[in-house]
């Protein structure tokens, strides 16, 4: 199968994917002692989350908003998290992957409404669910939670893993100096695609394998693999999810990947990889 697109089209696709976002409506319920049901006020915070970014990139602005609410006594060192239908969201997964896996199955034909999430604030009566989602372990000088440092540490670990799969060794990323590594990881927040591509290309010397994660429907199970770059997408899915192949739709960046089934993983990965260099595929049951 030939290349997916021309060089010009490839650049445009990458730009659109990099800038792709999801509308979010975050419900903030403030619990008080005065009302019978324990909820004194409910606020809505509307925002956009980049598909290939992570939920904590939104948290500093959310915290600033919470501090301005008249009925909130917010502690700087209290971490926050988001839940969907009562389940804490794993912030170490890209926002778009969470959306495709958890929300899209019920909204595939109508995605016009925002994704509604519930905000939670850790307290003595509501502890942070560290047994389910990654805790935030860093603090800023003022004692507030340092979400950025946690994102950068997580992304660096992900990049080391994908670098090993791609090159057969993690040496290329280990050879970056400290400032280069910090800049590369921080680009998910600063959103500079050109600079990200420059530094990311420095850690991809050759492609021996493609890091792939396949998220299965109605479960937390994930099929992870280091895949032959020349395998076709349809052959990968037949190998990994043979019983679902005929009754499911593969989703990549919110897009039906059915038309890509006969393309090699190498070509698909080059265009659709996330900043951690992983190709995420969500399996949807229509």
From residue 2, how far is each of 11, 264, 266, 281 by CA, in Å?
17, 9, 12, 22
Q: Quick one: which H or E segment has residue 5?
A: none
What integer pLDDT is reported at residue 27 of this predicted model?
96
By the 8 A CB rule, do 166 and 209 touch? Answer: yes
pTM of the full structure:
0.92
What integer pLDDT is reported at residue 1 of this predicted model?
43
From residue 286, how far is each of 136, 182, 251 by CA, in Å?
36, 41, 11
What integer pLDDT is reported at residue 3 of this predicted model?
61
What integer pLDDT is reported at residue 37 of this predicted model?
53
In order of their start, the domains of the chain are 14-135 (3.10.20.620), 158-202 (no CATH), 208-284 (3.10.20.90)
Q: Pull the structure tokens for residue 73.
A: 């006594």
> pLDDT of the chain along its 286 residues, tens only?
446 666 677 889 999 999 999 999 999 987 654 445 555 688 999 999 999 999 999 999 999 999 888 777 778 889 999 999 999 999 999 999 999 999 987 766 566 689 999 999 998 889 999 999 999 999 999 899 999 999 999 999 999 999 999 999 999 999 999 999 999 999 989 999 999 999 999 999 999 999 999 999 887 778 888 999 999 999 999 999 999 988 899 999 999 999 999 999 999 999 999 999 999 999 998 7
């Amino acid at each position: 199968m030939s290349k997916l697109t021309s060089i010009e089209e490839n650049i445009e696709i990458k730009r659109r994917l990099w800038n792709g976002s999801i509308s979010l409506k975050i419900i903030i319920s403030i619990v008080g002692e005065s009302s019978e049901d324990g909820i004194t006020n409910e606020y809505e915070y509307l925002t956009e989350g980049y598909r290939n970014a992570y939920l904590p990139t939104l948290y500093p602005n959310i915290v600033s908003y919470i501090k301005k609410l008249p009925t909130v006594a917010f502690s700087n060192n209290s971490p926050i998290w988001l839940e969907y239908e009562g389940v804490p969201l794993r912030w170490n997964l890209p926002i778009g992957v969470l959306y495709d896996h958890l929300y899209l199955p019920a909204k595939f034909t109508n995605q016009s409404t925002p994704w509604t999430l519930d905000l939670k604030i850790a307290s003595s009566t509501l502890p942070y669910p560290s047994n389910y989602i990654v805790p935030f372990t860093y603090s800023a000088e003022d004692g507030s939670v340092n979400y950025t440092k946690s994102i950068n540490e997580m992304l660096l670990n992900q990049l080391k893993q994908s670098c090993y799969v791609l090159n057969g060794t993690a040496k290329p990323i280990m050879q970056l100096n400290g400032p280069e590594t910090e800049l590369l990881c921080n680009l998910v927040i600063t959103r500079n695609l050109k600079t990200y591509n420059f530094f990311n290309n420095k850690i991809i010397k050759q492609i021996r394998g493609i890091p792939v994660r396949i998220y299965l429907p109605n479960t937390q199970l994930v099929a992870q693999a280091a895949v032959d770059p020349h395998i076709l997408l349809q052959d990968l899915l037949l190998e990994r999810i043979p019983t679902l192949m005929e009754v499911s739709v593969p989703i990549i960046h919110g897009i039906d990947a059915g038309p890509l089934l006969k393309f090699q993983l190498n070509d698909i990965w080059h265009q659709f990889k996330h900043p951690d260099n992983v190709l995420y595929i969500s399996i949807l049951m229509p």
